[in-house]
Chain A
């Protein structure tokens, strides 16, 4: 059983539903799922995260509460630190505006594979399905990196 990390994206109203769906996807894959929370409110999310499949909840904090709102470089460093600290080799996050900025920063720092805007993933096979040419074709991509894939 591998360990995968799920970046939990939150708003003032709480956890984004799509982040919870990723937890469920991680759980169904049979991996140990680590929910990464950066906004300092991990305690209040505990039940909800566990109910959706998080085995462990990792709250990343900084001095002066610098992570309370999105800071591109700091968030990338925090996510990488959490992944390495928990020995997770795969990261799942939502392809939101934030995710589209955060994930490439993480992948670029780790020099690992990244597939954005996936419509399907198979964590066991390390494959992801995404559109090419604005949906005119669909591609199945396999991650070949040692630190594997970020979807």
Chain B
């Protein structure tokens, strides 16, 4: 835990914000996932920024521009070398700089992920708001925002579909059960995990993509974050592809016979009646 006072008084007085956005490099949701062995998938497919994280980044950029001054958006990822693509995309969208914590794991354990991100964020200096997506579309762990908040002992809200910031106070609307919404207020520093629909992420233009190549990406080796004492809380024993769906059976002939046959199939084969 890094204590509750991670908000820099200087930043508060200057009315500028340091905003950190955690982004993950994930397979495109349209990609066909195949397995390479018992516990790994074939990661030669197309990768993109995790869509929820892209929404989080857009919100962070809008907030930075709203507050102005020397406010900055720093993106951080914990991923393989290839995750640089996602960082460059984030920088092209408008992030000021990036931190790349190097990992060899395909789907790191959420406890380790949050601990590593928290250490890198803490080392980078005081922060006002940490944005994340509410889940990653690969492992769907849905816990990193909470674990991050626990590391810094700060409030967290997830599933955020509306966001407002004013003078150190964050107001969010979040989805709860039965299409209901609740509005929460938190003091910064805090963790905000956003949902789809909060905004429409901007599409980087060519000049932004070129500029992004010159922006700072700091590489952080895992060993430099004193991770020897971090051991995963879960291990993947097996990954499997879902069973092939059986081909549809089409009944030909007259309606009366078909109805009888359908009844028979539902009773005897599908055993649902």
Residues of chain A touching chain B, judged by Cβ–Cβ distance below 8 Å, are: 96-98, 100-101, 103-105, 107-109, 111-117, 127, 130-145, 149
Which chain A residues border B239 with CB–CB below 8 Å? Answer: 132, 137-140
Residues of A within 8 A of B233 (CB): 111-114, 143-145
Q: Is the CB of A116 within 8 A of B146?
A: no
Indicate if B149 sits at the interface (CB-CB under 8 A).
yes
- B interface residues (Cβ-Cβ under 8 A, vs A): 27, 29, 32-33, 35, 41, 107, 110-111, 114, 137-143, 145-147, 149-150, 156, 158-159, 175-177, 231-242
Is the CB–CB distance between B149 and A97 below 8 Å? no
- In the bound complex, what is the Cα–Cα distance between A132 and B242 (angstroms)? 11
B146 to A: closest C-beta gap in Å: 4
Contact B177 A137 (CB under 8 A): no
Q: Total A-B pairs in contact (CB under 8 Å)? A: 107
A104 in complex: contacting residue of B138, B143, B175, CB < 8 Å: B143
Distance, CA A97 to CA B140, complexed state (A): 15
B114: nearest chain-A partner, CB-CB: A108
* Residue numbers in B under 8 Å from A109 (CB-CB): 150
Q: Please, which residues of chain A bring their CB within 8 A of the CB of B158?
A: 100-101
Q: A133-B27, A139-B239 are in contact. List 9 more A-B contacts (CB 8 A).
A: A104-B145, A105-B146, A107-B143, A108-B114, A115-B234, A132-B140, A142-B235, A144-B234, A145-B233
Which 8 pairs, one residue from A and one from B, show the smallest C-beta to C-beta distance? Answer: A104-B146, A108-B150, A113-B233, A97-B177, A104-B143, A136-B33, A145-B233, A140-B238
Query: B177 to chain A: which residues have CB within 8 Å?
Result: 96-98
Report the separation of the CA atoms of residues A144 and B35 in the bound assembly, to the nearest whole angstrom: 24
**CB-CB < 8 A to A131: which residues of B?**
140
A138 to B139, CA, bound (A): 10
By the criterion CB–CB under 8 Å, are A138 and B146 in contact? Answer: no
Of all chain B residues, the one with the shortest Cβ separation from A147 is B233
Please give the distance in Å from B152's CB to the nearest CB on chain A: 11
Complex-state Cα separation, A90 to B12, whole angstroms:
42
* A19, chain B: closest CB distance, angstroms: 14
Closest Cβ of chain B: how far from A93's Cβ, in Å? 13
| Contact (Cβ within 8 A) A111 B111 | yes
User: Do B143 and A108 touch (CB < 8 A)?
Assistant: yes
Cβ-defined contact, B141 with A133, below 8 A: no
The residue on B at minimum CB distance from A114 is: B143
For residue A108, which residues in chain B have a CB less than 8 angstroms away from its CB?
Answer: 114, 143, 146-147, 149-150
Task: Report chain A residues within 8 Å CB of B147.
Answer: 104, 107-108
**Contact A107–B176 (Cβ < 8 Å):** no
Greatest chain A CB density within 10 A among B107, B138, B233, B240 is at B233
Contacts A111-B111, A116-B142 hold; do A142 and B242 have CB atoms under 8 A apart? no
Selected A-B contacts with CB under 8 Å, 29 pairs: A97-B159, A97-B177, A104-B147, A105-B150, A107-B143, A107-B146, A108-B114, A108-B147, A108-B149, A108-B150, A111-B111, A111-B233, A113-B234, A114-B141, A132-B140, A133-B29, A134-B29, A136-B32, A136-B242, A137-B35, A137-B239, A137-B242, A138-B240, A140-B236, A140-B239, A141-B236, A142-B235, A144-B235, A149-B234
